[in-house]
């Protein structure tokens, strides 16, 4: 019998798309969730928390393949914060002990340019572990505009973000999940590193223009200074470590780490990546004023 694939981060953006994709491909899966009862697929879910070793060990029983995602430190509440590298090292030890044979790991674009970053150091641990891997280094997710910046676009018709000063690449999280699903199904993706981007390089002004066209109302872009961005995060309760890691990310963007695109999505999926325009059209209802009114009424 085929063994299930363990999916961490299953309630998150990529994880949600990956679950749908693997279920559509009739793959047995096991969802690793902090609250396994909350999932619509809770019959195939297990309780899992990176801060609880026993839950990690239990979730790995009978597992050969793991989708491994750690939440971005910027999305973890202060009181729930943990040391990424320390947790990664323990999770990897459990994987070695239980006989895991393949890991599909979510890292980040440009991780190799910042060798001190947690993403790169975890990649190194995986490569040294002897377990086969597929490392995915995605660019910024397009979905940040429909999740984190949804309210300012919907309510104030504006994008208020740091000034990158360069055009960056983005990728639709649906493409990341589709590549992850292929990586589990086809052995040629083992011991490969893919940098996942769409084909267009965009700045926030370009994105405001696309949203203006797609939504049929004026969406503007206001540049925020790096300092303001970081201060706003600190005063909204982010940990200093998370704010620092965001600061590092801003620097990387401004140095052009995200200003290239690759053909890795096409190489794996055999089709062009989803464009930003396509993403915006597919998500238009999320930013619509009528969605807001319906929710308020």
What is the contact surface with ligand NAP in residues (CB under 6 A)? 9-15, 33-34, 48-51, 69-72, 75-76, 106, 108, 138, 140-141, 144
Nearest distance in Å: CB 74, ligand NAP? 8
Residue 102 or 119 with smaller CB distance to ligand NAP: 119
Residue 69 or 135 with smaller CB distance to ligand NAP: 69
Nearest distance in Å: CB 173, ligand NAP? 6
- Asked whether the beta carbons of 16 and 53 are under 8 A apart, the reply is no
Q: Give the three-state DSSP class for 100.
A: coil
Q: Supply φ then ψ for residue 137, to 5 degrees.
A: -115, 85
Give residue number: closest CB to ligand NAP: 12
Q: Give the three-state DSSP class for 63.
A: coil
Pairing, β 65-68 against β 102-106: parallel
Please choose, from the candidates 136, 144, 117, 261, the residue with its C-alpha nearest in 3D space to the C-alpha of residue 211. Answer: 144
Residues, the chain? 297
Strands of the 168-171 sheet, one edge to the other: 140-141, 168-171, 201-202
Q: Give the three-state DSSP class for 134.
A: strand
Nearest distance in Å: CB 266, ligand NAP? 19
Residue 84 or 297 with smaller CB distance to ligand NAP: 84
- State the Rg of the chain over Cα: 19
Nearest distance in Å: CB 10, ligand NAP? 6
Pairing, β 29-33 against β 45-47: parallel
Task: Give Cβ neighbours of residue 254 (< 8 Å, ≥ 6 apart).
Answer: 164, 165, 166
Residue 59 or 219 with smaller CB distance to ligand NAP: 59
Residue 89 or 270 with smaller CB distance to ligand NAP: 89
Residue 188 or 251 with smaller CB distance to ligand NAP: 251
Nearest distance in Å: CB 30, ligand NAP? 14
Nearest distance in Å: CB 216, ligand NAP? 27
Residue 236 or 297 with smaller CB distance to ligand NAP: 236
Cα–Cα distance list, 250 to 88, 152, 204, 253 (Å): 24, 20, 14, 5
Nearest distance in Å: CB 76, ligand NAP? 6
């Amino acid at each position: 019998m085929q063994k299930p694939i363990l999916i961490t981060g299953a309630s998150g953006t990529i994880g949600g798309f990956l679950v749908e994709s693997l279920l559509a491909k009739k793959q047995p899966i096991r969802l690793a969730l902090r609250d396994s009862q909350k999932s619509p697929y809770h019959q195939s879910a297990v309780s899992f928390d990176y801060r609880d070793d026993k839950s990690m060990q239990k979730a790995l029983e009978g597992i050969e393949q793991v989708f491994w995602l750690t939440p971005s430190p910027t999305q973890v509440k202060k009181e729930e914060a943990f040391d990424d590298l320390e947790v990664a090292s323990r999770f990897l030890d459990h994987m070695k002990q239980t006989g895991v044979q393949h890991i599909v790991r979510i890292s980040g674009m440009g991780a190799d340019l910042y060798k001190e970053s947690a993403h790169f150091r975890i990649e190194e641990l995986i490569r040294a572990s002897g377990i086969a891997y597929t490392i995915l280094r995605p660019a910024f997710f397009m979905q940040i505009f429909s999740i984190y910046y949804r309210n300012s676009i919907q309510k104030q018709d504006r994008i208020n973000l740091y000034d990158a000063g360069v055009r960056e690449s983005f990728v639709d999280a649906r493409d990341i999940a589709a590549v992850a699903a292929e990586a589990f199904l086809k052995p040629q993706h083992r011991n490969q590193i893919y940098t996942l981007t769409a084909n267009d390089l965009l700045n926030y002004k370009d994105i405001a223009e696309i949203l203006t066209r797609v939504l049929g109302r004026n969406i503007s872009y206001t540049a925020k200074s790096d300092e303001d961005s970081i201060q706003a995060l600190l005063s909204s309760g982010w940990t200093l470590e998370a704010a620092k890691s965001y600061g590092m990310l801003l620097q990387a963007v401004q140095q052009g780490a995200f200003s290239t695109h690759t053909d890795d999505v096409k190489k794996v999926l055999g089709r062009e990546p989803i464009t930003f325009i396509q993403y915006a059209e597919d998500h238009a209802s999320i930013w619509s004023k009528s969605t807001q009114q319906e929710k308020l009424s």
